[in-house]
């Protein structure tokens, strides 16, 4: 399995800092393509209420809406506080590089994705980790002031 995107090149807005960040954490070149994943979320056996019944969901279908809601809250605060908002996958790396000792992510160091193990730091299984939205918000707001 190749953990570099075969479809998505690194876009113009993702500057050299993004490329350096990826390369440093992957132990090699990004080959000009996006590395996956950027981030992760706890998404196993989450309770949902649907059509009058409780059930459980997991995977990307659960993780993506959690990140979307989290980023919506972060951007709501940024717009209210600074009149600015953060976007693009680069924001995940900006938060990680600008944390001033605060962890914008909880590092996932155990488990796997059937192909690669989770390890300390960025890895091919969980990316940068799962969100610590309070610290993520602080890191982003300090960086884009």
What long-range pairs does 2-11 form, CB within 8 A, spacing at least 24? 3/35, 3/36, 3/115, 3/116, 3/124, 4/30, 4/31, 4/33, 4/34, 4/35, 4/36, 5/33, 5/34, 5/35, 5/36, 6/33, 8/33, 8/34, 9/33, 9/34, 10/34, 11/88
Instruction: Give 61's Cβ-side CA count (13 Å radius).
Output: 7
Q: What is the pLDDT of residue 31?
A: 58
**pLDDT of 20:** 53
Average pLDDT score, the chain: 81
Task: Name which of 33-37, 65-69, 112-116 the model is least confident about.
Answer: 33-37
pLDDT at 115 over 70: yes
CA distance 31 to 108: 25
Q: Give the residue-averaged pLDDT of 23-32.
A: 53
pLDDT digits (tens, 9 = 90+) for 67-110: 999 999 999 999 999 999 988 888 898 898 876 778 999 999 99
The residue extents of the domains of the chain are 4-144
Q: Which CATH class is domain 4-144?
A: alpha beta
| pLDDT for res 17 | 46
Tell me the whole-structure pTM to 2 decimals: 0.74
- Other CB atoms closer than 10 Å to residue 6's CB: what's the count? 7
Cβ-based neighbours of 94, under 8 Å, separated by 6 or more: 17, 86, 139, 140, 143
Phi, psi of 127 (to 5 degrees): 60, -130
């Amino acid at each position: 399995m190749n953990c570099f995107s075969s479809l998505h090149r690194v876009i113009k807005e993702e500057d050299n800092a993004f490329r350096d960040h990826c390369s440093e954490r992957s132990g090699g070149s990004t080959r000009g393509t996006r590395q996956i994943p950027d981030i992760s979320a706890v998404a196993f056996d989450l309770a949902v209420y649907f059509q009058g019944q409780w059930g459980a969901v997991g995977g990307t279908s659960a993780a993506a809406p959690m990140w979307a809601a989290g980023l919506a809250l972060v951007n709501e605060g940024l717009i209210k506080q600074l009149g600015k908002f953060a976007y693009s996958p680069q924001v995940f790396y900006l938060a990680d590089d600008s944390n001033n000792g605060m962890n914008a992510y909880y590092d996932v160091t155990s488990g796997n994705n059937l192909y690669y193990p989770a390890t300390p730091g960025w890895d091919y299984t969980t990316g940068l980790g799962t969100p610590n939205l309070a610290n993520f918000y602080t890191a982003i707001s300090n960086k884009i002031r």
